[in-house]
Amino acid sequence: MYTTERFSRAARIALGLLAVGFSSLATESRAQSSFEFQAPNVAFTLQPGVFDFSLGFSIEQVAGPSAGTLGFGMGVAHDPSLLSILSVDEGPALDVLPFPTAFFTTVIDADGWAASAVYTVLGSALISFPVPTEAVTVTYRAGESGSVDPTDSSPLTWTNDIGLPPIMNLVVVGGFMIFPDFVDGLVAFAEFTYVRGDMNNDGNIDLSDVFTAEDYLFLGGPTPDCLVALDANADTSIDIADLIYLLSYMFIGGDDPPSPFPRCGAALPSDTFECEEHLCP
């Protein structure tokens, strides 16, 4: 594996060579195969000092017949006043290769990162992305440039402007460069994070949550550790309507609980209840 914080000329040439040839079919290839690059949306509870966390950036083929990729390029910008980057590494998607990646090159700037991967110069290895699969893993540090406050957030925005020359967001399929659609992400910070509907704070959404809320509301049971999680319909009150809402979601195809759901997330500005303890980081 070849890794560097400066853009490797050899890797750029290799990625270009994979995309050479059959140019008359490029338009047809793009029409048949469509990819999406996805950045995560995450929220973290504020911690004193600096703290580190890793995020995965994924690729998914969203249209067309299954297409094996020969390589890809990625680049994502962030707010340098809130985040810095410690490392940019190969994601689990590349673990399927039977040998080390031929080229994996990275660029780390103050306001973002970029990476390019060429699985093999001979083009004998392909990776498909039928579902969102983490192609690049990035370790960030928060708080290094100063204190992070509640409600602070940093967009994670796909960009073609990192590197010299820049690394483009693309995948290589059958000798063609295909330019993906993008789902931008966000890193948010809050005084606490939780999952709406996880009323008993066990990491699952099931009937036991309804029983916890019923016990608290009607049977004099203890106050749950994360009271705001009981507001399943996010109407700023906790009552029988929340139990009905959650039962409807679980058994008759009702609407999902509002954010944060189904993963840990920051409290909404409208949330009026506290969360003394939750399993979220």
275 belongs to a structural domain? no
Check pLDDT > 50 for residue 17: no
User: Same domain, yes or no, for 186 and 249?
Assistant: no
**3 state DSSP class of 35:** strand
235 belongs to a structural domain? yes
Q: Per mean pLDDT, which range of 116-120, 125-129, 164-168, 276-280 is the poorest? A: 276-280
CATH number, domain with residue 248: 1.10.1330.10
What's the whole-number mean pLDDT along residues 233-240? 91
Per residue in 42-80, pLDDT (tens digit) is: 878 777 678 899 999 999 999 999 999 999 999 999 999
User: Same domain, yes or no, for 253 and 129?
Assistant: no
User: Same domain, yes or no, for 46 and 169?
Assistant: yes
User: Same domain, yes or no, for 28 and 138?
Assistant: yes
80 belongs to a structural domain? yes
| 32, containing H or E segment | helix 26-32
CATH number, domain with residue 25: 2.60.40.680
User: Same domain, yes or no, for 90 and 210?
Assistant: no
User: Same domain, yes or no, for 75 and 19?
Assistant: yes
User: Same domain, yes or no, for 141 and 96?
Assistant: yes
206 belongs to a structural domain? yes
Write down the pTM of the prediction.
0.71
State the residue range of the domain holding 147: 9-190
User: Same domain, yes or no, for 142 and 205?
Assistant: no
pLDDT of residue 281: 60
Domain-terminating residue out of 161, 190, 219: 190
Per residue in 257-273, pLDDT (tens digit) is: 988 888 887 776 667 78
Domain-terminating residue out of 190, 224, 256: 190
Per residue in 171-185, pLDDT (tens digit) is: 999 878 999 999 999
Domain-terminating residue out of 190, 217, 240: 190
pLDDT of residue 80: 94
pLDDT of residue 16: 52
Greatest extent of the chain over all pairs of C-alpha atoms, in Å: 73
Separation of alpha carbons 37 and 180, rounded Å: 6
User: Same domain, yes or no, for 116 and 174?
Assistant: yes
3 belongs to a structural domain? no
**Cβ distance 2 to 8 under 8 Å?**
yes
Separation of alpha carbons 27 and 160, rounded Å: 21
User: Same domain, yes or no, for 145 and 17?
Assistant: yes
